[in-house]
Structure 1
Amino acid sequence: MADNQPPKPSKAGRTLVGTVGMATALMLFTSIPMEESGRKVTASVSPQTGAVTVKHISGPQYLKAYLDLVKKATACDGITRGVRMGQIYTEQQCAQMLEAELEIHAHELITCIPGLSPTIPGRDHIRAAMVSLAYHVGPPAVCRSSIRLKIAQGRLRAACDTLPDFNKSKGRVVPGFVARRAREHALCIKDAA
């Protein structure tokens, strides 16, 4: 059904692995489902084709569109783009939609913060944490923050230490955001020692 087709990446042929590198992509494919829907998955990338396979292990799997906390139609692992109430997705469609959304967010983030490029070695954890943040709050919020300058200056630990600041919605601290930022911070600092 055409309504259930995943969004197309902004540039034909671009993949998450191509945008962030294999290690970062695998981190994102396992951490985002845990963050967004509380489910555990395994992810693998075919060395021959670069195709990603995500396999559901446990936890809730939202294959039918639902209204999230702000009453926005949502499906799978926090996907909102193109989702309408009543739609039902397969596990494969959810994986394709997740990859497309992560790639769009990652590409926009790396465009504004070149220091997150996969061509720079030793930054997989930082890149995964920052893409996770951008997936949650939007790339523009991250790009406008002090994170951009801190990474450009090579102040990686300072950039990671900024993550907890993204813990509010409408001026109020949200406990779930605090916990998510703490997990992203712990991931980020693995590369920032």
Structure 2
Amino acid sequence: MKNLGRWIGGGAIGGACGLALSISIGVVKHYEGTELESYPDPVGIPTICTGHTGPTVEIHQTKTAEECDTLLAGDLGAAFDTIDREVSPEINATMPPTRRAALASFIFNVGPGAFHQSTLLARLNAGQTHAACDQLSRWVYAQGKKLAGLVKRRAAERELCLAGLE
């Protein structure tokens, strides 16, 4: 777990939910970066701030740092809502903050629809936690191209997902 300290180390917010949010913010900011002016992502999707996409994002758009923080909070909030909706209550109730953070980062990146249809979710809900976390390593392609940044991000997410498992 060589990188685990990077995501957990810097003063945890109280409570499991706060810790999961804090960790996920760190992971997402590290891998997405923050740009105040919109840009096309590696596959051409208009993106702004910290990986924010959507129908209202257009090239040459700008946001303030505060607007970017608000977008990130909303995007990660939606990712955590997806976890709460899609992961079985029994599994969700015992999920450590590191795993919740890994899943939120993943959902933030691939979207709730992809998560809903994933083998990762099916294995997680079947109680096959290690096998579910291992699925993260498969999600390293964008439009058929393997991206080095996604390989690194998924390795970090997998490490967080597996934290605490024997």
1:179 to 141, 152, 156: 152
Matched with 1:42 is none
User: By how many angstroms is 1:22 displaced?
Assistant: 0.9
What value does the CA root-mean-square deviation take over the aligned residues? 2.1
**C-alpha separation between the residues in 2 aligned to 1:172 and 1:70?**
9
Matched with 2:10 is none
Per-residue CA deviations over 1:124-171 (Å, capped at 9, x if unaligned) read 111111111111111221221222222223221111111101112233
Which of the pair is proportionally richer in helix? 2
Amino acid at match of 1:31: V
User: By how many angstroms is 1:24 displaced?
Assistant: 0.5
Matched with 2:39 is 66
Matched with 1:150 is 123
1:104 to 34, 55, 78: 78
**C-alpha separation between the residues in 2 aligned to 1:125 and 1:105?**
14
Matched with 2:23 is 27
Matched with 1:76 is 49
Matched with 1:163 is 136
User: By how many angstroms is 1:122 displaced?
Assistant: 4.7
Q: Is the Cα contact below 8 Å between 2:43 and 2:143 reproduced in 1? A: no
The 1:181/1:139 distance shift into structure 2, 3 A limit, reads same
**C-alpha separation between the residues in 1 aligned to 2:95 and 2:39?**
38
Q: Is the Cα contact below 8 Å between 2:37 and 2:48 reproduced in 1? A: yes
1:136-147 map, 5 Å: 136-147=109-120
1:114 to 88, 98, 123: 88
User: By how many angstroms is 1:173 displaced?
Assistant: 2.4
Amino acid at match of 2:66: Q
Amino acid at match of 2:104: V
Matched, 1:124 2:109: no
**Unaligned segments of structure 1, at least 5 residues:** 1-16, 38-60
Matched with 1:135 is 108
User: By how many angstroms is 1:25 displaced?
Assistant: 0.6
Amino acid at match of 1:157: H
**Unaligned segments of structure 2, at least 5 residues:** 1-12
SS at match of 1:64: strand
Per-residue CA deviations over 1:17-44 (Å, capped at 9, x if unaligned) read 9xx811101111111110111xxxxxxx
TM-score by length of structure 1 reads: 0.70
